[in-house]
Structure 1
Amino acid sequence: MIETTTECLSFRELTQADLPALKLILQDEATMFAYEHAFSDEEVQAWLDKQLGNYAQFGYGLWAVISKESGELIGQCGLTPQQVRDQTVLEIGYLFRRDCWHQGHATEAARAVKQYAFDQLKAYSIIRDNNLASMNVAIRNGMQVLDRIEKHYYGMTMPHYVFGMVNPQIKES
């Protein structure tokens, strides 16, 4: 379980009680543009169930991001296992309510998760090729493009970039 906070945010595991807040995020067409559709009630529940399963199986997943100012769940950010070619990697993923965009929350949350992942694990961000805002978050988070892959969702092939980081304390020879 993540035990970190930032200046403006705190993190915790999602619970079933978070379903209404998740619907505000996952059922917003603009927020979900990279997924090509807003989620149905069933897809939101499946998303939450997947996170709960990830906590049980791996000890991590996408965590609820809580605004310290309002106490509200404003997004989610965390780690999910993803396939990149022939290996499973950890992705730093994030989704925030649209009314919380352009306030630095995604970058602040991704940095905290990156530090957690860097200290504990090795993580990546896998970002759809048309999601410039998320690419900019990854770049501001000190990550760089390492690869380009294709993922398949809803019968479509979607190009993605794999962003990663290099340990600044390890000198490459």
Structure 2
Amino acid sequence: MDNILETNRLVFRKLCYDDMDNLKKTLQDEVAMYAYAHAFSDEEVEAWLQRQLARYDEDGFGLWALIRKHDGNFIGQCGLTIQEIDGRKLLEIGYLLQRAYWHQGYAIEAAKAVKEYAFTKLHAPWVFSIIRDNNAASIKVAERNGMIKTGVIVKQYYHMDMCHFVYCAENPYIHKR
């Protein structure tokens, strides 16, 4: 399968059906999914994968598999999605890693690479991260990725109102003036 991006330690590629068991390691882990307030069922994991595959066709991007170079392990996913907030379509950097790979710098390494991809390959004027207010680790990743908090929104998910922070970074190649 073709690689989309590479960093010092990671390879990014499109997700595929062969990744289903690896996706379940994160999406069905209650601790890893605390920002979603529940672990996913098998059907929800399959729907998640279907959404990514559809995004590749419709948008040309989505969340990509993160593969660790030195051993070929699938460690999670990171990429770009379109999110609608207050009637605006925003390009969002998203990431979800298996717990075994937390606190090793993989999330920030991946998020920085995806931000650079959005700015240099897609020429996006801005990128965003929409992060649940209780997700301190993802907030730290966004801040280390040069993003600043620009707003607060409430999203309804599973009939619950959930506060989210909106982080943003401007494309320095466009906004130099």
What interval of TM-score do these two structures reach, taking the shorter chain for normalisation?
A: over 0.9
Distance 1:98 1:149 in 2: 27
CA separation of 1:160/1:2 partners in 2, compared to 1, >3 Å: closer, same or farther? farther
2:116 maps to what in 1? 115
2:163 maps to what in 1? 159
Alignment root-mean-square deviation, CA? 1.3
- Residues 114-172 of structure 1 show CA distances to partners (whole Å, capped at 9, x for unaligned) of 00011212421000011010000000001011111111100011111111112335246
Unpaired stretches in structure 2, ≥5 consecutive residues: none
Quote the offset at 1:102 in angstroms: 0.3
Distance 1:14 1:93 in 2: 14
1:43 maps to what in 2? 44
* Identity in percent: 53
Matching residue's letter, 1:164? C
Unpaired stretches in structure 1, ≥5 consecutive residues: none
Q: Which of structure 1's runs of 4+ aligned residues deviate more than 4 A?
A: none
- Contact 1:14–1:48 (CA under 8 A) maintained in structure 2: yes
1:68 maps to what in 2? 69
- Contact 1:62–1:78 (CA under 8 A) maintained in structure 2: yes
Distance 1:130 1:2 in 2: 33
The equivalences for 1:132-151 within 5 A come to: 132-151=136-155
- The TM-score with structure 1 as length reference comes to 0.95
1:53 lines up with 2:57 in the alignment? no
- Contact 2:155–2:164 (CA under 8 A) maintained in structure 1: yes
1:24 lines up with 2:25 in the alignment? yes
- The TM-score with structure 2 as length reference comes to 0.93
- Contact 1:124–1:163 (CA under 8 A) maintained in structure 2: yes
